[in-house]
Structure 1
Amino acid sequence: MKVAIKILLITLFTVSILNCRAQQKDAFKAKVVYKSDNLIVTQISENAFEHTSFLQTQDFGNVPCNGLIVRNSQEAIVFDTPTNDKISEELIKWIKQSLHCRINAIIPTHFHHDCLGGLKAFDDQGIPSYAYVKTIELAKENNFITPKNSFPDSLILKVGHETVIAKFFGEGHTRDNIVGYFPGENVLFGGCLIKELNAGKGFLGDANVAAWSGTVEKVKDHYPDVKIIVPGHGEYGNKALLDYTINLFRVK
């Protein structure tokens, strides 16, 4: 009997330690790891970093614009460029010098300037660029700088020993908006398809408002294990951002 109790206590103690370690791993505390007048980089998980630059607009003022960096084994992939080439150069330098990573790819998530405004800086350093085929079409139509490589509806790229996924689920903010997913840490870059909590509808000049909710519902169904979601503008969060966006654009 005493042996059985002893075994039970050891088992409970071991389970408790494992649970504590798991909670510590899940409870990553985000921190700003780089900040200048033009660029902020925030580490949001062990291997995912939000980069934020700013775009001066007529209708919405000086708007913070988010992108995402994921890394593994001294390799990195970036979703969305900073808003201009100078800030992109700053970001590239930081990734190389501080993360000690080679950048495998830059992936703009739609054709607007807050996603590819700094693309030339990546081109100049020989970093491959990839975009959904419609993004390339729309960039060309608007005489914007154009990513070099296209994909039909989804793309999987290696980053170290992990992968990232870029995928088109449907129209919303634009006809070409995609999302990026990092399965290794369940991080979703929603771009401008996804709104921060309590945000308004924002710029709708190229939007398909009627399709928006349905597109985000597809994203939600496809990535049930997502833990961290980074929107194109504003504060990152969890699955609540998906629900908020779905309700914001739900056709009444």
Structure 2
Amino acid sequence: MKDTIKNIFAIFFSFFILSCGSQKKDYFKAKEIYKSNSLIITQISENAFIHTSFKKTDDFGNVPCNGLIVKDNNETIVFDTPTNDKSSEELIQWINERLHAKINAVVPTHFHDDSLGGLLAFHKNKIPSYSYVKTIELAKENNFVVPENSFNDSVILKVGDKAIIAKYFGEGHTKDNTVGYFPSENILFGGCLLKELEAGKGYLGDANVAAWPGTVEKVKKEYPNVKIVVPGHGDYGDGRLLDYTITLFKGQ
């Protein structure tokens, strides 16, 4: 009887240790790991970092603008550039010197300057850029720096032993807005297609408001296991950002 009790205790103890270990592995407390007047970097998972730069606007003041860095085996891919070349140079230097990592590619997710405003700095550092074909068309029309490589629907790029996906789901904030997905950590970079919780509608000058909720519904269906969602502006969160954005624009 004593041996049976001992065995039951041993099994329970082992399960408890394993359970705590797995919870600890899944839990990651976000932390700000770099800050200057023009750039903030926040680590949000073991291999993902939000870069935040700033854009001065007449309507909304000094707006913080998010991008995402994903990493594996001393290689990174960057979604969206900081808002200007100076901040982009700062980000590139930080990745090279602090993460000790190579930047395989930069992926601007739409044609506005909070997505590709610092693209020239990446090109000067011989970092290839990839964008949806419509982003390239709109960048040319507006005399912006033009991404080098285009994709029609989606592109899969390698980062270390992992992969990222950039994909177009339809119009919303702009005609060309794409999203980025890092499957190994179930992280979605929604860019300006997605809103932080409690956000307003923001700039609608190039938007297709009628199509917006349907586009986000497609994203939600494509990535049902998403754990972390990063919007173009404001605080990151989880899948509720998708639902909030759908509700915000439905019936408009």
How far apart are the structure 2 equivalents of 1:72 and 1:109?
21
Q: TM-score, normalised by structure 2?
A: 0.98
Report the equivalent of 1:215. Answer: 215
Write the letter of the residue equivalent to 1:144.
F
Report the equivalent of 1:12. Answer: 12
Deviations 1:80-117 (A, max 9, x none): 00000000000000000000000000000000010000
- Equivalent positions of 1:92-171 (< 5 A) are 92-171=92-171
Following superposition, the deviation at residue 172 of structure 1 comes to 0.5
How far apart are the structure 1 equivalents of 2:87 and 2:127?
16
Aligned identity (percent) is: 69
How far apart are the structure 1 equivalents of 2:3 and 2:150?
65
How far apart are the structure 2 equivalents of 1:77 and 1:155?
13
How far apart are the structure 2 equivalents of 1:226 and 1:175?
24
Write the letter of the residue equivalent to 2:122.
F
Write the letter of the residue equivalent to 2:91.
L
Q: Please list every run of 5 or more consecutive structure 2 residues that lacks an aligned counterpart in the other structure.
A: none
How far apart are the structure 2 equivalents of 1:92 and 1:103?
8
Deviations 1:202-222 (A, max 9, x none): 000111101111111111111
Report the equivalent of 1:177. Answer: 177
Report the equivalent of 1:48. Answer: 48
Following superposition, the deviation at residue 71 of structure 1 comes to 0.4
How far apart are the structure 1 equivalents of 2:68 and 2:207?
23
How far apart are the structure 2 equivalents of 1:144 and 1:120?
10
Following superposition, the deviation at residue 5 of structure 1 comes to 3.7
Report the equivalent of 1:203. Answer: 203
Secondary structure at the aligned position of 2:165 is classed as: strand
Write the letter of the residue equivalent to 1:71.
K
Write the letter of the residue equivalent to 2:148.
K
Following superposition, the deviation at residue 6 of structure 1 comes to 3.2
Write the letter of the residue equivalent to 1:168.
Y
Q: Which moved more, 1:103-112 or 1:4-13?
A: 4-13
Q: Please list every run of 5 or more consecutive structure 1 residues that lacks an aligned counterpart in the other structure.
A: none
Deviations 1:130-185 (A, max 9, x none): 00011001111111110000011111111001111101111100111011011111
How far apart are the structure 2 equivalents of 1:7 and 1:152?
60
Write the letter of the residue equivalent to 1:206.
D
